[in-house]
Structure formats: C-alpha cells, structure tokens
Amino acid sequence: MLARDDQDSLKRTPLYNLHISLGGKMVPFAGYDMPVQYPAGVLKEHLHTRNAAGLFDVSHMGQIALRPKSGKVEDAARALERLVPQDILAIAPGRQRYAQFTNAEGGILDDLMVANFGDHLFLVVNAACKAEDEAHLRANLSDDCVIEQLADRALIALQGPKAESALAKLCAEAPAMKFMDAGPHKVAGIDCFVSRSGYTGEDGFEISVPAGDAERLAKALLENPDVMPIGLGARDSLRLEAGLCLYGHDIDTTTTPAEAALEWSVQKSRRTGGARTGGFPGAEKILAHFDHGASRRRVGLRTEARAPVREGALLFADASSSEPIGKVTSGGFGPSLNAPVAMGYVPTHQSALGTKLFAEVRSQRLAVQIAAMPFVKNTYKR
C-alpha cells in the first residue's frame, strides 16, 4: 500500500539539512527532495498555520529578475505585458500582482507573482515550470530585458495570524507592510526581498533570502514558539481551503483565465475596450471568454459524506447518468473545515452556487454541491 520513489538525482534546497534535522519526511516534488510533513503531521501543521504561524520552504520555486536594458522599469513592464494578460505597468514600485503566462490557444503556461522593485521586476514562478518560463522570457523579451534566474536565493514563506509578530522581531518594517506590498528589507540583518503574500489564505509573508543565509534565517524564525515548520502536505490542504489554484491541476495549458474563474486577476486596461487591450498570447480567445462567457468554469465543491473527493473524480448531473459533465481537479480533506473540499470544472450553465451534482468515487456516486470559494475566509491585511 505504500510506494517509494527513487530518491536519486533529486535537487536539494538550501534548507535540506534543516528539514532532515527537524524530522521532515522527504518526498520528490518538482525534481526536489522536499518535506511533505514533519513529525507533527499534516493535520496539526495545517491547524497550527491557521491558529499561529507556519514556516514553509518554497525554495524550489523559481525567482527571476527582469531588468530593463533601458534602465526604466516601465520598459520591462511593457515587455512583460506581451506575455501576460495583466496590467503590469500599473504595478507601483513596492507592490506585486498575480499574473499568468498564456499561450496562443488562450491556455495558461504558468501562474506567477510579479513585483515592481523600482528599477526591475521580480518574478516568482512555479518550480515545475521555471526552466520553461525562463526560456519563454528569453525567447520573447531579450531585446528589452536582461533575464536572470536567481538560483542562489532561497524562498521562505511565513503564514498565519502570528506571522506578523514573528517577523516583526527580525524586521521592524514588516508590520507596516500591506497585502501585496513587496520590496527589499533587512531581516535578521540579512538583505532579503519580502512580500506580504502567500498561498494559504492567511496573512503572511514570503521572504527571498540569499542561499547561504537561509538556514540561519529559518532557524531564527523557528526559535519563536509560535512558528512551526510546515510541509508540502499542509501547504496543499491550506491552499485548497483558500480556493487557490495549483498549476498543472486546476489550471494548465487548456484552461483560459475566464474558465479558471480568474477574472479578478485580469485588469480592465488589458480587456476589450481597455487602454492596452490584448497584445498577449491567446488574447482573442481569452477576451472572447471574458466578453461572451466560456462554456465551462472552475467551481468549488463540498460534499455531504466524509469521503474525500480527489483529483480526477468525474462529476455527473444526477445519480445515474452515464455521461460525465465535468471533473475534479483538486480535492482532499480540509482540516479547518473538518470536511472534504474540492474544486473542478463544470459547464457554465450548471455552475451556479448551490447546484447539486454527483462525484464518482470508487464506482459510487456521492452527492456534492457547488460552494463559494474560498472555503475558509481570507485574513489578508489589506
């Protein structure tokens, strides 16, 4: 009942030794040997993050600097707008925004964070996509930008209601930051890039730190009794409860931003009638989906039964029909809700909140209901 993966040739983050010393159970993830959980276990780690603060090693993610050859950050922003449907020019210095790289068919190549650091843009991309993203940026933006993969930096997320007080002990400026503020700050005397953001639905921070200082910083944060190390298992259950997409599962090269219910992330200026409408890969299809609607939509799902409905489960309109109408793209158990939660795609005309559907789990049809996301209320400090 238990599978073991080949541990050879896996990359290690700068916090690998710390994970081992903390008793982390290591698993392969996106080519890295990463802690899926620590001795406390996924349930306790999840709840601790919601109640106090959790520390996550997300150093496997890609950190990329986009430096304008002209020296003007607007030129890097204008260049990046050729690859994403977001308004990058509108990101003020010291702020960041969620974005997606799109393809010619209107699908999503990756989702990312874009921060304006005043003289350049700072991007955080998914681990599994970082090589392709870098190549994509080089192929399309090299005339205007110098693209630098910041492989010598670790990334630490500190999330939860006690994240602010924990970070404030090492970085006096942290409490003054608002949700999606981002910029260089000294943390424990180390030159870091800090953003007030995360992937849990909680208030919190992501801290980019030079690789050689990462363990010292992580240990300094973990000295605080409010802070517990959290593995990838709880990272996934936290983001699922927060209704956040996991690339390669809930969004991929076949889902447009409108289908993925990510309308909020595409600003008016890039839409039909906007000041800089279109001009990104797949614009025609992506904008048509915004203007005329898409035929399917990502929705949240709750169940009545205790059995988790997981990725790949087919969705049906009733208990006996043979034709599925959709599919679950992420699903599991939500420890804060003490109940299963899932998300998936259904036809738009069957996507209204409260719609009753059935999910097939081990040949049984379980009643599910379309529910609002996030499943657990966000606590971002706006």
Binding of residue 35 to another protein (CB under 8 A):
no
Is residue 359 classed as helix, strand or coil in its secondary structure? strand
Binding of residue 314 to another protein (CB under 8 A):
no
Binding of residue 257 to another protein (CB under 8 A):
no
Q: Candidates 117-125, 143-151, 198-206, 233-241: pick the segment binding another protein (CB under 8 A).
A: 233-241
Q: What DSSP element (H or E) covers 157? A: strand 153-159
With respect to another protein, which residue has the nearer C-beta, 153 or 239?
239
Say what angle helices 73-80 and 130-141 make with each other, to 10 degrees.
110
Binding of residue 332 to another protein (CB under 8 A):
yes
Q: Enumerate the β-bridge partners of residue 342.
A: 301, 331
Binding of residue 2 to another protein (CB under 8 A):
yes
Binding of residue 363 to another protein (CB under 8 A):
no
For residue 181, what is the DSSP state? Answer: B
Is residue 78 classed as helix, strand or coil in its secondary structure? helix
How many other CB atoms sit within 10 Å of the CB of residue 128? 18
Which member of 310, 327, 365, 381 binds another protein (CB under 8 A)?
Answer: 310
Residues sharing a CB contact under 8 Å with residue 12, sequence separation 6 or more, in sequence order = 32, 33
Tell me which residue of 300, 298, 210 sits closest to 255, measured CA to CA: 298
- 63/193 Cα distance (integer angstroms): 11
Binding of residue 150 to another protein (CB under 8 A):
no
With respect to another protein, which residue has the nearer C-beta, 53 or 361?
361
Which member of 236, 241, 250, 259 binds another protein (CB under 8 A)?
Answer: 236
Binding of residue 211 to another protein (CB under 8 A):
no
Q: How far is the CB of 167 from another protein (least distance, A)?
A: 27
Is residue 240 classed as helix, strand or coil in its secondary structure? helix
With respect to another protein, which residue has the nearer C-beta, 44 or 78?
44
What's phi and psi for 160, nearest 5 deg? 125, 170
For the chain, count helices (H), then strands (E): 8, 19
Q: Candidates 34-42, 108-116, 174-182, 372-380: pick the segment binding another protein (CB under 8 A).
A: 34-42
Which member of 46, 289, 296, 297 binds another protein (CB under 8 A)?
Answer: 46
Interface with another protein by CB under 8 A: which residues?
1-2, 36-37, 41-44, 46, 233-234, 236-237, 306-308, 310, 332-333, 335, 340, 362
